Amino acid sequence: MHQQIEDEEIIERYVRNQLAPEERKAFEEHYFTCEECFAKLEVTERFVAGVRDAGSRGLLGRSASEVASSPGWRAWMLPMVAASACAAVVFAAVTGWVFFFRMPELRQQLNQTAANLRAEQAARAILEQQIASINQAEANLPLVMLQATRDLQAAPNEVTIPYGAKHLVLWIDVPAGNSRSFRLQVDAADNRPVESLDNLQRNTYGALAVSLPLEALQPGDYRIRLFRQEPLPVTLLAEYRLRIRRP
């Protein structure tokens, strides 16, 4: 049936009222149940109506308006309609891909970039505060000279932290030897690690001067161990006890 409709140009002749009554009736019975022919019929009717309307308004030359009624118009009209339909399908496919796949991906990338930027800004603000704190001169900096001991009954080294102090300086006389670098390990009384400093070097007095942030050192007792880091092996050199007080 479809091949006959194509070969005999049934749809075009139906629109131009050129079918015999029997052919017209048979075609109507067919396209009412055929979505393909019904769609083609709608496109053809709109095209012919549009051309005739433009011709009646003088928007087209006489020859152009007559083409819609000529038997050979189908030869150039159908390729144009097919091309338009293909373009519409391609446009819909591209739009759907962008909306359902590409847009969520781009939105996710944008959100991740924004989150990374916020994290970087927060880290930079913290670093700037730390730098400002380090660069700010500090008066009445507390200092304690540690004396080594392993006797639990011996009195610990004591230091009283003045109000507003932010750092504590530990002065350690290093035992004589061939040690080139040192590690300092600070533990709380319950053996909880508090601070660890590596690659410490002797100063011009042959001692170690170490600054510790007091925010990590609450009032209480601490055990401080000094290790030789180089040359290997790592070796315990001395142990100190420290008691921190507040006024």
Please report, for the domain that includes residue 212, its CATH number. Answer: 2.60.40.1220
Calpha distance 28→5 (Å, rounded): 12
Closest by CA to 143, choosing from 211, 80, 189, is 211
**Residue 215 burial by CB count (10 A; 0-12/13-18/19+): exposed, middle or buried?**
exposed
- Please give the tally of structural domains in the chain: 2
pLDDT of residue 92: 57
pLDDT confidence tier of residue 41, bands split at 50, 70 and 90:
confident
8-state DSSP, 189: T
The 10s digit of each residue's pLDDT in 160-180 is 998 888 899 999 988 777 888
Owning domain of residue 57: 2-72
Q: Is residue 92 part of a domain?
A: no
The sign of the dihedral angle between the CA atoms of 231, 232, 233, 238 is positive
Q: Is residue 181 part of a domain?
A: yes
Q: Judge if 68 and 151 occupy the same domain.
A: no
What's the mean pLDDT in 100-127? 75
Rank 65-79, 120-134, 187-201, 204-218 by mean pLDDT and report only the highest: 187-201
pLDDT of residue 243: 93
Q: What rounded mean pLDDT belongs to the chain? A: 78
Q: Is residue 138 part of a domain?
A: no
Q: Is residue 17 part of a domain?
A: yes
Q: Judge if 147 and 237 occupy the same domain.
A: yes
pLDDT confidence tier of residue 44, bands split at 50, 70 and 90:
confident
Task: Examine residue 213 and say whether the peptide bond preceding it is cis (omega within 30 degrees of 0).
Answer: no
Is the pLDDT at 223 greater than 90, yes or no? Answer: yes
Termini Cα distance of the chain: 106
Closest by CA to 36, choosing from 85, 75, 77, is 85
Above pLDDT 90, what percent of the chain?
A: 24
Q: Is residue 221 part of a domain?
A: yes
pLDDT of residue 109: 79
